Protein backbone atom coordinates (compact mmCIF):
# COMPACT_ATOMS: atom_id res chain seq x y z
CA UNK A 1 0.00 0.00 0.00
CA UNK A 2 1.38 3.40 -0.98
CA UNK A 3 0.38 5.01 2.34
CA UNK A 4 2.49 2.55 4.31
CA UNK A 5 5.55 2.96 2.11
CA UNK A 6 5.38 6.77 2.15
CA UNK A 7 4.63 7.08 5.86
CA UNK A 8 7.59 4.86 6.68
CA UNK A 9 9.83 7.38 4.87
CA UNK A 10 8.51 10.40 6.78
CA UNK A 11 10.55 11.75 9.69
CA UNK A 12 10.03 9.79 12.89
CA UNK A 13 10.31 12.78 15.23
CA UNK A 14 7.12 13.96 16.90
CA UNK A 15 6.47 16.80 14.49
CA UNK A 16 3.11 17.97 15.79
CA UNK A 17 3.93 18.25 19.47
CA UNK A 18 5.24 21.79 19.06
CA UNK A 19 2.78 23.79 21.12
CA UNK A 20 2.87 26.93 18.99
CA UNK A 21 1.94 25.28 15.66
CA UNK A 22 -1.80 25.73 15.15
CA UNK A 23 -4.10 23.76 12.85
CA UNK A 24 -7.39 25.48 12.04
CA UNK A 25 -9.85 26.72 9.47
CA UNK A 26 -7.34 29.32 8.24
CA UNK A 27 -4.67 26.69 7.59
CA UNK A 28 -1.55 25.77 9.52
CA UNK A 29 0.09 28.57 11.46
CA UNK A 30 3.46 28.79 13.17
CA UNK A 31 6.91 30.31 12.95
CA UNK A 32 8.33 29.07 9.65
CA UNK A 33 11.94 29.33 10.71
CA UNK A 34 11.79 26.85 13.58
CA UNK A 35 8.26 25.52 14.24
CA UNK A 36 6.52 25.07 10.92
CA UNK A 37 9.18 23.14 9.05
CA UNK A 38 9.06 21.58 5.57
CA UNK A 39 9.12 18.14 7.26
CA UNK A 40 6.00 19.01 9.26
CA UNK A 41 4.30 20.45 6.17
CA UNK A 42 5.07 17.30 4.18
CA UNK A 43 3.74 15.05 6.92
CA UNK A 44 0.58 17.18 7.31
CA UNK A 45 0.07 17.03 3.53
CA UNK A 46 0.42 13.26 3.49
CA UNK A 47 -2.12 12.74 6.27
CA UNK A 48 -4.48 15.26 4.69
CA UNK A 49 -4.21 13.33 1.45
CA UNK A 50 -5.06 10.06 3.18
CA UNK A 51 -8.19 11.62 4.73
CA UNK A 52 -9.59 13.16 1.53
CA UNK A 53 -11.59 11.24 -1.01
CA UNK A 54 -9.68 10.43 -4.18
CA UNK A 55 -11.90 12.61 -6.37
CA UNK A 56 -10.62 15.79 -7.93
CA UNK A 57 -7.52 17.81 -7.14
CA UNK A 58 -6.40 19.37 -3.87
CA UNK A 59 -6.04 23.14 -4.29
CA UNK A 60 -3.24 24.81 -2.31
CA UNK A 61 -2.88 28.54 -1.79
CA UNK A 62 -0.49 30.67 0.25
CA UNK A 63 0.32 34.23 1.13
CA UNK A 64 3.33 36.20 -0.10
CA UNK A 65 5.72 35.46 2.76
CA UNK A 66 9.16 34.13 1.84
CA UNK A 67 8.47 30.77 3.49
CA UNK A 68 5.29 30.23 1.46
CA UNK A 69 6.80 28.56 -1.59
CA UNK A 70 8.94 26.01 0.27
CA UNK A 71 6.12 25.10 2.64
CA UNK A 72 3.68 24.87 -0.28
CA UNK A 73 6.07 22.55 -2.12
CA UNK A 74 6.45 20.38 0.99
CA UNK A 75 2.72 20.08 1.65
CA UNK A 76 2.16 19.41 -2.07
CA UNK A 77 4.73 16.60 -1.97
CA UNK A 78 2.95 15.07 1.01
CA UNK A 79 -0.51 15.26 -0.57
CA UNK A 80 0.87 13.96 -3.86
CA UNK A 81 2.57 11.04 -2.09
CA UNK A 82 -0.87 10.05 -0.79
CA UNK A 83 -1.94 9.73 -4.42
CA UNK A 84 -3.81 12.99 -5.00
CA UNK A 85 -3.35 15.63 -7.69
CA UNK A 86 -2.26 19.12 -6.59
CA UNK A 87 -3.27 22.48 -8.03
CA UNK A 88 -1.05 25.21 -6.61
CA UNK A 89 -2.82 28.54 -7.09
CA UNK A 90 -0.12 30.57 -5.34
State the alpha helices, DSSP H only, in the chain.
Answer: 2-9, 38-51, 68-81
User: Element (H or E) spanning 62, and its range?
Assistant: none
d(CA 31, CA 28): 10
Mean pLDDT over the full length of the chain: 79
Identify whether the C-beta of residue 38 lies closer than 8 Å to the C-beta of residue 74. yes
Identify whether the C-beta of residue 74 lies closer than 8 Å to the C-beta of residue 44. no
Residue 56, sorted as left (phi over 0), alpha (psi -120 to 50) or beta, turns out to be: left
Instruction: Record the pTM.
Output: 0.71
Tell me the pLDDT band of 9, cut-offs 50, 70 and 90: low
* Of residues 63 and 13, more confidently modeled: 63
Amino acid sequence: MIANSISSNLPKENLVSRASVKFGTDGIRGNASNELTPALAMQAGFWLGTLLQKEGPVIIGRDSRESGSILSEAISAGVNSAGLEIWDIG
